Amino acid sequence: MGKYNILVINPGSTSTQVGIFQNDKCVAERSISHSLEELSLDVDAQREFREKAINEFISESGFNIREFHGIAARGGRLKPLESGTYLLNDEMLKDSYDKTDGNHASRLAVIIGEQMSKMANCPLYIVDPISVDEMIDEARISGMPDIERRSLGHALNLKAVGRKTAEDLNKKYDELNMVIAHLGGGTTISGHMKGRMFDVINDFEGIFTPERAGGLPNLQLIKLCFSGKYEEKEIISKTEGQGGFFGYLGTKDFLEVENRIAQGDKKAKNIMDAYLYQMTKVIGSMVAVLKYDIDAISITGSIARSKRVIDHLEEAFSTIAPIKVYPGSFELEALAMGVLRVLTGEEKAKSYPSGEVIL
């Protein structure tokens, strides 16, 4: 195997993760936090400071942009796709600019990466984007014929953690039934049956998060939308960006909320209790769908570092299945390995959005 330098770009709701891999070894990585002032800007307006931070990281890591053989970008809310590694094309770039399914920062990965790939004269790929879709047919039914449930979630990290859980249990991923929860600024709770991510409950349907409102009472939301008090853009911001802990407590910092509770803040404690309550309901619903035939409940994301959260889940579910904890995110590694498999010829890249193998 030759030496391949891979740049990984992963913008999230509150930070930008970036890494440089030489083959399967991470030689530099950084999680770049962004201020509330920066995050208050529209996602398109965030492109400039995120791109600048990525370029500074590359320079400070001792690399030149032309040294990269491939760029791995986290895919945003694209068209439904099967799992895999996809080569950038015009349709993917166009869909990354599209905000039909929400205005999440992850779509900037392709937009920023496309410019960097031109400078580097190397290909850009996405790996297991948010829109990976393995849902079973009955999970797609919403209850209203005009609306179909879609598979939008942290597929990249969920799949990576599924494989790590299987390794820890000395099993194969496709041998296990699991519930895997990614808990962070964004949240996805997913069911995995013998290697298939058969259902996902994201933070538009499920629990609220540090910045998202989660599932809301339909009639009250409809009345609020038509009350004349808010424009469409304001309603969207209240559900994504200004909801959840931020809406109630004015902070998106989970650790700050825990510190406020420790100092006797009763409102913070009440909101935290509601968060844990909702989390238990949603994870429990996925356990029930698996008919309690479950090998593990795996918790990942930044909030998996919270002892309060893990202790709560142990108390709620440890008699049903072992609680496996994988704090943080394995997205950088998963992105890089997906691209490396293509560069080495171990795996073929796919065409967006068909999923057809590129020969």
Kindly report which listed range (47-56, 101-110, 333-342) carries the lowest average pLDDT score: 101-110
What are the residue boundaries of the structural domains of the chain, listed by start? 5-132+331-351, 137-327
Please provide the distance, in angstroms rounded to a whole number, between the alpha carbons at the two ends of the chain. 20
265: left (phi over 0), alpha (psi -120 to 50) or beta: beta
95: left (phi over 0), alpha (psi -120 to 50) or beta: alpha
SS3 state at 320: coil
Tokens of 36: 């509330």
Beta strand 350-351 pairing with 25-33:
unpaired
- Of 79, 103, 99, nearest in space to 89 by CA: 79
The answer to whether the 5-132+331-351 and 137-327 domains have the same CATH topology is yes
Residue 103, pLDDT score: 80
Residue 1, pLDDT score: 66
Tokens of 195: 């290697």
Helical spans, DSSP H, in 197-329: 218-225, 232-239, 244-249, 254-262, 266-289, 307-317
Task: Supply the DSSP symbol for 107.
Answer: G
Kindly report which listed range (75-89, 201-215, 238-252, 274-288) carries the lowest average pLDDT score: 75-89
Report angle CA 46, 151, 332 to the nearest 5 degrees.
50
Omega of the bond prior to 145 within 30 degrees of 0, cis? no
Select 5-132+331-351's CATH number: 1.10.150.530, 3.40.1390.10, 3.30.465.10, 3.30.420.40. Answer: 3.30.420.40
Q: What beta strand segments (E) does the chain contain?
A: 5-11, 15-22, 25-33, 70-73, 85-87, 124-127, 177-183, 187-193, 196-202, 296-301, 323-327, 350-351
Residue 75, pLDDT score: 87
Per-residue pLDDT tens digits for 4-61: 999 999 998 778 999 999 999 999 999 998 998 998 898 999 999 999 999 999 999 9
Query: How far, CA to CA in Å, does 95 sit from each of 100, 129, 297?
Result: 9, 13, 34
User: In sequence order, what are the beta bridge partners of 212?
Assistant: 240
Q: Does the pTM of the predicted model rise above 0.85?
A: no
Taking the C-alpha atoms of residue 96 and residue 359, their distance in angstroms, rounded to an integer, is 24
Superfamily of domain 137-327: ATPase, nucleotide binding domain (3.30.420.40)
- Number of helices and strands in the chain (H, E): 12, 12
pLDDT exceeds cutoff 80 at 319:
yes
Tokens of 49: 């400071």
Taking the C-alpha atoms of residue 187 and residue 90, their distance in angstroms, rounded to an integer, is 30
Per-residue pLDDT tens digits for 225-254: 999 999 999 999 999 989 999 999 999 999
Residue 299, pLDDT score: 98
SS3 state at 81: strand
pLDDT band with cut points at 50, 70 and 90 for residue 194: very high
Per the CB < 8 A criterion, the answer to whether 239 and 204 are in contact is yes
